[in-house]
A and B are shown apart, each in its own frame.
Chain A
C-alpha cells in the first residue's frame, strides 16, 4: 500500500513542471464541491482541469491528460474516476476519498430530493406519463452516444462480432452481465492486441 501511495503522490522531480503545489485536504474538498456543483450541466472535465492544473497547479497538464485517458478506460463514472485520480495524485488516498466525496455529494443531494418528489408525485398518473417521455430522451442520449462511439471503433469483423454478441447476450437473451463480460473482455483485448497496427511502424 505505502509504496503505491509514494509512487502516486506528487514527486516534483518526475514532473516537467517543478512548481507543483500540494493542496490541503480542505482545499481539495472545497475545490471538488465547487466542481460538483458547477458541473451540473455536464462540463466537469474543463472545470476539473481549470481547478487542478491551471488555477492551483496540483498536477501537470500531462498527468491530467493521462488521468483522463485512464478514467475512460477503467470501470466507474468517468468524472468520478478523474476526481479520484486528481485527489490521489495530489494527496494520496485521503485526497482521493475527499475529491470523490466533493464531486458526488452535490448531485447526490439533488437526486435524493428528486427521489423524494417521485414518491410523493407517483400517485398522479401524469407522473409516469411524463417520465416515460423523459426516459425516451434518456435512451436517445444513450443511443446517440453509442452510435458516435461505434464510429470510432476499429472497422473489422472481430469488433462487430463482439459488440453484437454482447448486445444479444445481455440485451435480448437477458443473460447475466458478469459471465458475458468475463468471456467478452479477454476475447476483445486479445483481438485488439493481435491487430495492433502501430506495431508495424516499430
Chain B
C-alpha cells in the first residue's frame, strides 16, 4: 500500500517537475487535479490547507511537494516527493546550461524568454482558480482575496507578513464566532 503511494508520488511529481516553468505556481492546478481527483489521496479541503501551509513556509513554492508527500506517505513520502520534484528539472537545467553557453544565437534565446511567458501565466491563473475552487467559497473569503491581492499588487508589503497578518485576523474572527 505504502509502496504504491511512494511510486504514485514519483509518477505525479516527476512529470510536473519538467513542466514547472516559472516555478511551483505553474503546476498547482495539475497537482491539485492529480492528488485530489485522479489518485484520491487528498480531499479538496486538505489540498487547500497544504497549499496555505506551503505559502506560509519559507523556501521555494515547489516544496509543497514535500508537504503533500509527508501527508500521504509520511517521512519517506516527503523525501521521495522532494526528489521527484527537483531531480528531473535539475537534469534539464544541467543540460541547458551547457547548451546555452554553446549557442550564442540570441534570437532563439529571446524566443524562449518571450515564448514561455504566456504559457506560464495561463498556468499560473489556472492554479489560482484551482485553489479558490478547493477552499470554502464565501463572501468572507472573496473579500479576503480581493484585499490581499490589492495589497500585494499596489504596495511592497511582504507576502510573509501578509500571510501572518491574515492568519491572526482569521484566528480572531474564529474566536468571535464568525
Contacts and interface: CB of A to CB of B under 8 A. Distances in A.
A114 interface: yes
Interface string B100-135: 111000111011111111111111111111111001
A-side interface size class = 35 or more
Contact of B111 (A79, A148, A149, A192): A192
Question: Chain A's interface: helix, strand, loop or mixed, by majority?
Answer: helix
Interface in B11-27: 15-25, 27
Q: How large is the interface on B (under 10, 10 to 19, 20 to 34, 35 or more residues)?
A: 35 or more
Contact of B94 (A93, A176, A184, A192): A93
A128 to B, nearest CB: 6
A133 B57 contact: no
B122 A111 contact: no
A143 B121 CA distance: 10
Interface stretch (A15-23, A25-33, A50-58, A165-173): A165-173
A193 B111 contact: yes
Contacts, number: 344
Contact of A184 (B29, B60, B119): B119
Interface in A38-57: 39-42
Most buried by A among B52, B62, B132, B166: B52
Interface in A56-89: 66-67, 69-81, 84-85, 88-89
A79 B153 CA distance: 22
Interface of B: 15-25, 27-30, 33, 37, 45, 48-63, 66-67, 70-71, 75, 78, 82, 86, 88-90, 92-98, 100-102, 106-108, 110-132, 135-136, 141, 144-145, 148-149, 151-153, 158-160, 162-163, 166-167, 169-171, 173-174
